[in-house]
Structure 1
């Protein structure tokens, strides 16, 4: 039978090579000599903190023994969570996903480890070790795929959030795969999940889907707000939402108005905007509530200007410009809609573009709700650059293509085929229409 070299065999070889006794090496490592002696005799399993000290004392890479350690704690001795948990966390910090997968695969044969592994995944997710967390979520989810449990739904939610990136096709796949699990989440997590799905489908221009999600978000948030007996974040089971529940109601109404705007029904959008500007029904009267209500007042006022502008009411243009000029986070959105309106109604907005030229490069802005959603901002920027290219080309100003081409480059990076194709077509047709030589 082939002898498998153990970690203690390598330690013994090191001691022999350096002419060290157990007691001397124990002092170097900072481990009790009796403990080291029992480990070397195979009478005691090696704890994670001891492994770290021994590896460091031997001058080896921190994860040098990790492959052997997996075998020793999973095969050679009965696995104990006291040793497994710190090892999983350490593997995540060193990106040893192979070791994590080996342990998880073995542990999931015993369903008692499922909740423990899920808790580790949650801890890793919060710490930003996303690859390790995703690996555990995937395995825990697979073990519970027939249980239809809340834990399974939460695994899928985390995987959905981690899957979102710059590729619209991958984002669509992630959203579709996750959508069926939303109803399995607890009520407060459902609110955040619906909001994230709405953001994703907004970036994909699937406005009917966004409308459906907004309606469901409004229904669920309204119901939860009626049922809450304590604070506006906490449900009966003690879980806490990222934002007060009334904020989700306001946001759902904002989404509904935005869908109408994107679909070109600006008059209907104007009728809905006052709904989320009216906060008289909100019970809370603390500093957070006042800040949230004030933010929706700003957004509502800006969106009234915006929809009137998109409806062709040029008389509000100067007033709109002055309104957003002192609100930095609103300027880029306003410029995008102003250029779009200029193309639609053949307006000259050169002076406005010159005034706000510093705000044209792509950037993210923050509000009281955090940084702007990256997916939506990326999409808005590609759309803006397409409109700006059409605006310049319709005026035969071909020397302004630096900004518009940055938009095309970003579209290629995001694989946003719709914007790339539309941008290309608008350029070709504008050149044909503006250059008489093409007509001869």
Structure 2
């Protein structure tokens, strides 16, 4: 039978091979002779800090013995959280995710360890060690799957936020799984959870879900806002500090979301009614600086969206006013510029408007590229989807006006973006638009298009979506 290796055996072999005494090795490692002796003889458990010193002294890469450490000192031993916690943090630092999985799998049979692992996961999340935190949250959630606990709901919320990425199919799955846990969160945390869910569904253009969640969020926020001002208690003020926005914003944001639903469905009159609702904030009782910031922001949004709804309903006379409104905030740092310019292009394509001067004025190319990373769900999900649509609308605009070089350039941007987003419907729309104008494509464009299509096919083969029967 093959004897499993141990760190002690590896260290003892190294000492013999290098002809080092315990004292000599201790000097190299920065440890006293007694500590080295206790480790070699097995009289004292090894800490992860000591392991790092030993590994470095042996000239081995960081984390070299981590799998053995998990085997020798954690798995098949009574869990010792004083040893496990620093080990998990070090594994996260060195991206030793398999070691984390093994440890979590070994100790999560016992629910008594859930609170501590959850605490460690929160610490990893604060350090932005998302993949490591995800493993712990999933371990806790699996162990508590039959518990109707708030901690389980928080784990599912964290898992949802970490998993949300470029792939819209995966995002839909993550949102669907998390949605059933929202009601298990406390009443305050539910507001941010619903806001995040609504923004994911908005990026997926699942308008019925957006409306359903927005109305649920509004009702809950109204209750909390009423309670806050009825009780006027310091305790309730403390409870709302965990929110990412002032409490009244969840009411107004629900109206904004409902307006976007109506706009997407072509009901511009109803969209205007929702817009007027979130423009009128006389009912807000707070007067602090943060509140005033949000009130001003909603009034600005309402002004622009009033123009948009009139414009998209066919009143093209407001285009000049809308463009001047855009000009006030025309800079690359304004994340809403993508949305604003998308509105212009949608109107231009729908009503055959000439907007060449507008596109030159705002240097449109800078808004069709990848956006900066963000933790905010709207910026992270909605803006990239709108950026891909902006590229498509630009392609449509230029190709139908005979500007084929620009048209195909933007179409390639959109094609690649929708592949990244894994949005099959819009990806097919891009291919359809290309085929409609294929005869106007120069050989270089045809070659670029073929390369993109082949790359997508190879990516799908790699993912196992299709079989590759090439010899």
- Tell me if TM exceeds 0.5: yes
2:399 is the alignment partner of 1:389: no
**Cα gap change, 1:187/1:32 in structure 2, threshold over 3 Å: closer, same or farther?**
farther
- Show the 5 A alignment for 1:200-349: 200-228=200-228, 229=232, 234=237, 236=239, 240-328=242-330, 329=334, 330-349=336-355
- 1:360-383 superposed Cα distances (whole Å, 9 cap, x missing partner): 43354899x969523212221222
Seen in structure 2, the aligned counterparts of structure 1 residues 357 and 112 have a Cα distance that, compared at 3 Å, is same
Distance 2:38 2:267 in 1: 77
1:30-429 equivalences under 5 Å are: 30-74=30-74, 78-228=78-228, 229=232, 234=237, 236=239, 240-328=242-330, 329=334, 330-358=336-364, 359-364=366-371, 373-401=379-407, 402-425=409-432
Contact kept in structure 2, 1:39 and 1:45, CA below 8 Å: yes
Alpha-carbon deviations, 1:221-258, whole Å to 9, x = none?
A: 1222223345798554x871222222222211111111
Cα contact 1:364–1:372 (8 A) shared by 2: no
Moved more, 161-170 or 24-33: 24-33
1:387 Cα offset (Å): 2.2
C-alpha distance after superposition, 1:42-76 (max 9, x if no partner): 22111121111111112112212212211222257
For residues 291 and 244 of structure 2, the distance between their equivalents in structure 1, rounded to whole angstroms, comes to: 14
1:210 and 1:430 map into 2 onto residues whose CA distance is: 35
CA distance in 2 between partners of 1:430 and 1:62 (Å): 56
- C-alpha change, 1:354 and 1:73, in structure 2 (3 Å) is same
Bigger mean CA offset, 26-35 vs 170-179: 26-35
Pick which of 250-259 and 23-32 moved more: 23-32
Deviation readout 1:259-300 (Å, 9 max, x if unpaired)? 111111111111221221222222222221111111111111
**Alignment partners' CA distance in 2, 1:259 and 1:231:** 37
Match of 2:242, SS?
A: coil
Structure 2: 5+ residue stretches without partners: 440-471
> Shift of residue 77 of structure 1?
5.2
* Count of paired positions: 430
Cα RMSD over matched residues?
Answer: 2.6
Q: Deviations over 1:167-224 (max 9, x none)?
A: 2211111111111111111222211211111111111111111000100111111222
Deviation larger for 207-216 or 49-58 = 49-58
Q: Deviations over 1:289-318 (max 9, x none)?
A: 111111111111111111111111122111
Listed as ranges, the gaps of 5+ residues in structure 1 are 433-440
With normalisation by structure 2, the TM-score equals 0.84
1:435 maps to which residue?
Answer: none
Residue 111 of structure 2 contacts residue 144 of structure 2 at CA under 8 Å; is this kept in 1?
no
Determine the structure 2 residue equivalent to 1:437: none
